A and B are shown apart, each in its own frame.
Chain A
C-alpha cells in the first residue's frame, strides 16, 4: 500500500514495474474487490485531496481525485452549489466516482457522474494524459466506469448543480405492488429531479414488489419555512450512531427483516407532499450510522445491483418473485429508473430499470439465487454493476457488457505492459491476459 501525497509521487509509482500489478484506491466504498490487488501494490489516493479552484460563477470545480464528496459538499453548499451526482454515501472520492461512473437518484434526468466531468488528468504507465471528451474521447469514456484499470485519475474538473438551500422537497407515496410502482415512476419521474423506490423484497403474492417512492427536488428558498431561511445553506451532518462489533451474524434474519420491512412500509405515508428534508437525510441515510455494515456480522454482506433495459419489466417481476420466494432477507432493496446511457463501454447505466439489494453473505441460499438472477439479467440484455459486484460468473461478463472488447483495446493502449490489475479484474478476466504468465 502506498499513500502518495503529491501528484509526482503517483507518476513515480506508475513508472516502476510490479510482478503482481498496481491499482488506485479511494475510500474503499466499492462493495467488491475493485480496489484490491492481492500480492500487488494498492495506491491509496486519499491524501491527494487539494482543491485547485472553485468557479462559483460558472459552477465549476477542479479538485484532486482523492477528495471525498463529503468534503466537497461541505465546501460547495455555502456557495450555493451541489455535486452533480451523489451515491448513497458521501464517503467516496471524486476519482472513485469517476472510474466507477456512479449514478444517483437523478440519473433519469441528469445521467451519471462522468456526464458532468469536463476533464481529468490520468496517470498511465505510458505517461500522463489530460483527458476530455473532446480531446481524448476513447480514453475518457474507457475510464468512465473503467474501474481504475486505464490509469490513476489524479484530478478532475467537475460541473456543479446550483442550489438555493441544503434541503430537498420530498414527495412520498406508497405503491401497492410492482406494477403500481413502475407505473408511478414511469409516469411521474420526469417531474422530479430525484426519484427512488424502496422495495419490500419479502412481500409476496398480491403485494409482490410493494414499494415506498420518495421523489423530490432541491428546495427553493421560498419553499423553506421562514425560520429556516437564514441558515438555508447550512450543511452539518453528523454520524450519531455506531454499530457495535459484537453483533451476531444472525441478527439480520428472515424474521427480523420481515418485521422491519413491514414496519417500514406501514410507517410510510400513503401520500405526502412537500416535506422539507435536509440533503443528507434524503441522500445518505446510512451515513448516519457509522459502520452500519457491521450489522451483518462477521461474514458481512453481499450487495447486488443489476440493470434491465426498458421493455424488460416482466423480467424485473420474475427477479423480484425469485427473491421473494427464496425469502432472501434483504432490508435495503432499491428500485430506480435509469435515463439514457452515456458512451462509456463499461459504464453501468442503460435506459431502463435498476434494482439494488443487499443480503447477508452467510445466508445459505445466496449463491445459487444470485447466479440464477445473473443469467436472467444477461439474457434480458441487462448487466450487473461492476462497482458492486463480488461474485459474478466470469462467463457472463461479455454478454452483459457487449462493448467489452472495445474497452479492452483502449485499455491495452494505455497500459500495454499490463501493469494495472485488480482483484475484480482477475476474478472476471476484465483484461484479457495470458493466464499462464
Chain B
C-alpha cells in the first residue's frame, strides 16, 4: 500500500538487470519499499542485485524468470509475480533493447525482433499487469519510454518508433485505468549513460541511471502521469516536435 506521501511498499521490476530499473529499486528500498520482485530473462544475473537490495533493507526479494518476447507465457508469469508477495504498489517496466540502426536497415528481421521486444512484449505485459492492478484497486505501472519516441530520428528510427508505439499504447492504457485506483506513469528519459548506450557519443542533456531513478521516484510519489529525465527535456522536446521536417532531418543528434 502506498502511504499518503506516495511511498510504495512493494515493487515489481520487469527487466531486473536494467540499470535505471535497479537504481529506482534501490532508491525505493532506501525509503519505504520492503518487498521487491526482480524479473529478468536470466535469473542467475540477478543474484548480485538481490544482495544489494537486501543490504539496503529489503526484507523480501523474489526472483522470477520471464521472456518479453514469449507473449504466451505472460499471463502465467504476471500471475506468479502478483502471488509472490501480495499487493504490488509499483510495477516498473524497464526492459528494452536499443539495437543497431544500420544493421537493422539491412536485416529487417533485426528490426522486427526489436519491435517485438520493445513494443509487442511491453504491450502484452502491460495489459496483464494492468488487469491485476485494476483488481487490487491501486498501484502504479511505471513505464520506461524515451524521448526518442517523441519524434523518430533518421539515425535511430527503429528504436524510436518502438518507443513511440509503446508510449502511445501506455498513454491509452493509463486513460483506461482512470477511476480504477491504479495509474500509469510514462517516463521519458533522454540519453542515459548505461551499458545499453556505452560507446555512443552523449548528446546534450545526457543523464545517469541514478538521476532518472530520482525523477521516477518523485513522479511515483506525486502521482504524475508523465515525467521527463532530466525534466528540462519536456520543454526541449516540445520544441523539437514542432521543428519543420526539412530542418529536423538535418540535425545530427
Contact = CB atoms under 8 A, between A and B. Distances in A.
B1 interface: yes
B5 A38 contact: no
B226 interface: no
Contact of A302 (B4, B35, B86): B4
B177 interface: no
A336 B1 CA distance: 31
B78 to A, nearest CB: 16
Interface stretch (B108-116, B135-143, B166-174): B135-143
Interface string B69-84: 0000000000000011
A425 to B, nearest CB: 9
B3 A427 contact: yes
A362 B136 CA distance: 26
Interface in A378-436: 390-394, 423, 426-427, 435-436
Contact of B181 (A19, A38, A435): A38
B4 A436 contact: no
A368 to B, nearest CB: 9
A40 B181 CA distance: 12
B31 to A, nearest CB: 7
A93 B136 CA distance: 28
Contacts of A362: 222
Contacts of A427: 1, 3, 9
Interface of B: 1, 3-5, 7, 9, 31-32, 34-35, 83-87, 135-138, 181, 222
Contact of B7 (A38, A391, A423): A391
B196 to A, nearest CB: 32
Contacts of A436: 83-86
B4, B138, B181: residue with the most chain A Cβ atoms closer than 10 Å: B4
Given A367-B7, A436-B83, A426 B137 contact: no
A32 B135 CA distance: 22
B1 A391 contact: no
Interface residues of A, number: 26
Contact of B5 (A37, A39, A367, A394): A367
Contact of A38 (B3, B4, B136): B136
Overall SS of chain B's interface? loop
A183 interface: no
Nearest to A437: B86
A302 B138 CA distance: 20
B181 A393 contact: no
Contacts of B136: 20, 38-39
A366 interface: yes
Contact of A361 (B4, B35, B135): B4
Contact of A435 (B31, B85, B137, B138): B85
Contacts of A393: 32
Contacts of A40: 137
A7 interface: no
B172 to A, nearest CB: 22
A138 interface: no
Contacts of B138: 38-39, 423
Contacts of B181: 38-39
A290 interface: no
B59 to A, nearest CB: 9
Which has the most chain A C-beta neighbours within 10 Å: B35, B83, B136? B136
A33 interface: yes
Contacts of B86: 435-437
A150 B139 CA distance: 26
A361 B34 CA distance: 22
Nearest to A39: B137
A86 to B, nearest CB: 25
B27 to A, nearest CB: 13
A367 B138 CA distance: 21
B135 A39 contact: yes
Given A20-B136, A362-B222, A390 B3 contact: yes
B85 A423 contact: no
Contacts of B135: 19-20, 39
Interface in A287-321: 299-300, 302
Q: Which of B5, B32, B34, B85: most chain A CB closer than 10 A? A: B5
Nearest to A32: B4
A300 B223 CA distance: 13
Interface string A258-300: 0000000000000000000000000000000000000000011
B1 A390 contact: no
Interface in A356-372: 361-362, 366-367
Nearest to B9: A427
Contacts of A394: 9, 34
A39 B133 CA distance: 9
A299 B222 contact: yes
Nearest to B59: A395
A102 to B, nearest CB: 20
A426 B31 contact: no
Contacts of B34: 394
B83 A361 contact: no
Contacts of A302: 4-5
A23 to B, nearest CB: 12
A76 B3 CA distance: 39
A304 to B, nearest CB: 10
Contacts of B5: 302, 361, 366-367, 390-391
A246 to B, nearest CB: 19
A302 B3 CA distance: 10
A390 B4 CA distance: 5
Interface string A127-161: 00000000000000000000000000000000000
Nearest to B87: A426
A29 to B, nearest CB: 15
A366 B5 CA distance: 9
Interface string A111-126: 0000000000000000
